[in-house]
Amino acid sequence: MKRLLLFLSVIILCLAFFSCTKSIDLQDYVIVISENANTTTKYASENLASLIEEKTGKKIEIITDANAEREKEILIGETTRADSKTSVTLSRGQYLVFERNDKIVIKGDGIYVGAGCSDFANKYLLTDTSSSQIKLKDIPSSEQIFDYKAQDECKSVIFMIGDGMGENHIKMAEFCQMPIFIARQFPSIGTSITRSLSVIEGLASSTDSAVSATAMSTGYKTLNDYIGVDKNGEVLKNVRELARENGAKTAVITTDLITGATPSAYLCHNISREDTEGLQAEIDRIIKEKEIDYIAGEVDNALTDKTKEALWQISSDGSQFFIMIEEAQIDKASHSKEEELAVEYVKRFNDAITYATQFALCHPDTALIVTADHETGNLGKINGAPCGYYFRSYAHTNLDTPIFAIGAGTQSLKESRVENIELAKICAKAYSGAPFGQERVEE
């Protein structure tokens, strides 16, 4: 009798599996977005297509709804297709993914369309088959609302720095027709305390990029001008080095010179940010000895393209990775009090963040943190000015900078105010359980 019951149980489980599973040929499908799709939807569709190709080896075309309707389509966001129409209203953090009439419908509130893309590729699409058919399992057949929830365990980190970017830089760009700074839709938003050890000890009036980037890369406060070393000049391990030691692939991208202060904090160890020759020699050694997998400086308007290229290269085959991406020119425009130029650089940074956001959502074991090393220019609001704000200073300040975070392991940053060294510690947890950085900031 027990054997009979066990046999019947197996039969029932098999029937349940096959009743919820169907085979599809992805080559019959195209991804469809609106002809007027926003950047978020475009990047969500690109990431889904790339993820499908990586998982299945099958390329899938992306078209707009201006094209003739096909029988089998993956509809992303709002399109003119009848099957895109839904009866529910989505709130912050919510998304839909379901099948209707041989159409896959994926929608989300703002950035969270990417969470729907992630579920389709990572949850419902079964790729453990050698046939030309791909299995689709348990995908909803109705408009069931899902709430985005980040994983607790973080495997990889995307760390993005807007050099000199304070909260008012973002508000100024939004005043000047940037629809939204995309990271405002992240679930975890807080602020970072940027003061350096030089400021704490009364040796300087404000922080600089070298020391603030070192704090975020090593978890230690140190002296202005120092890169990757403590106040005694002793080498400090940075999070990129920690990631590599633990088998992760690593990358550094910047719109600055690769020897600039911020990228150098993730690459070098030197008591002077001005030692360009010494910094370049260390970077050359890292490249020669293949201690980094992707490195690019002075990328300028190719920032988003290089971000795409690097992310897919270092994450290939499910590899663990760490990447630091810097938009350096916000700081430079602020030093010269050029409001309109600063706005353009914030917008450029925002575009790269938008792509990285959709990538992170499609890779749910990845954390994305967006912040700044410090604020530059002490931006103030002014009525009647073209940009709505003006620079009150040419210099760096010790104002708190914003932190925006989404993805695995970033929940602690919600509504937080933390020393910038804490960001290095959060990144380090992805690669090692050992303590990283200094325990606390001594006053």
**How many angstroms separate the Cα of 156 from the Cα of each of 30, 183, 220, 401, 409?**
30, 19, 21, 23, 10
The whole model's pTM is what? Answer: 0.94
Q: Where in the chain is the domain with CATH 3.30.379.10?
A: 23-147
Cα–Cα distance measured from residue 150 to residue 158, given in angstroms and rounded to the nearest whole number? 15
Cα–Cα distance measured from residue 31 to residue 64, given in angstroms and rounded to the nearest whole number? 8
Neighbouring residues of 11: CB distance < 8 A, sequence distance ≥ 6 = none
Token pair recorded at residue 229: 């070393």
Q: Where in the chain is the domain with CATH 3.40.720.10?
A: 156-428
Question: If we measure between CA atoms, which residue out of 248, 257, 242, 268 comes closest to residue 424?
Answer: 242
Token pair recorded at residue 250: 């690593």
Question: If we measure between CA atoms, which residue out of 429, 437, 413, 362 comes closest to residue 153?
Answer: 429
Residue 74, strand partner residues:
31, 104
Fold annotation for 23-147: Chitobiase; domain 2 (3.30.379)
Q: Are 217 and 428 in contact (CB under 8 A)?
A: no
Spell out the per-residue pLDDT of the chain, length 443, in tens. Answer: 555 445 544 444 443 434 456 676 777 899 999 999 999 999 999 999 999 999 888 899 999 999 999 999 999 999 999 999 999 999 999 999 999 988 999 999 999 999 999 999 999 987 754 555 677 888 999 999 999 999 999 999 999 999 999 999 999 999 998 999 999 999 999 999 999 999 999 999 999 999 999 999 999 999 999 999 999 999 999 999 999 999 999 999 999 999 999 999 999 999 999 999 999 999 999 999 999 999 999 999 999 999 999 999 999 989 999 999 999 999 999 999 999 999 999 999 999 999 999 999 999 999 999 999 999 999 999 998 899 999 999 999 999 999 999 999 999 999 999 999 999 999 999 999 999 999 988 77
Fold annotation for 156-428: Alkaline Phosphatase, subunit A (3.40.720)
What's CA 252's distance to the chain center, in Å? 13
Q: Are 394 and 377 in contact (CB under 8 A)?
A: yes
Kind and range of the H or E run holding 191: strand 188-193
325 three-state secondary structure: strand
Neighbouring residues of 43: CB distance < 8 A, sequence distance ≥ 6 = 354, 355, 357, 358
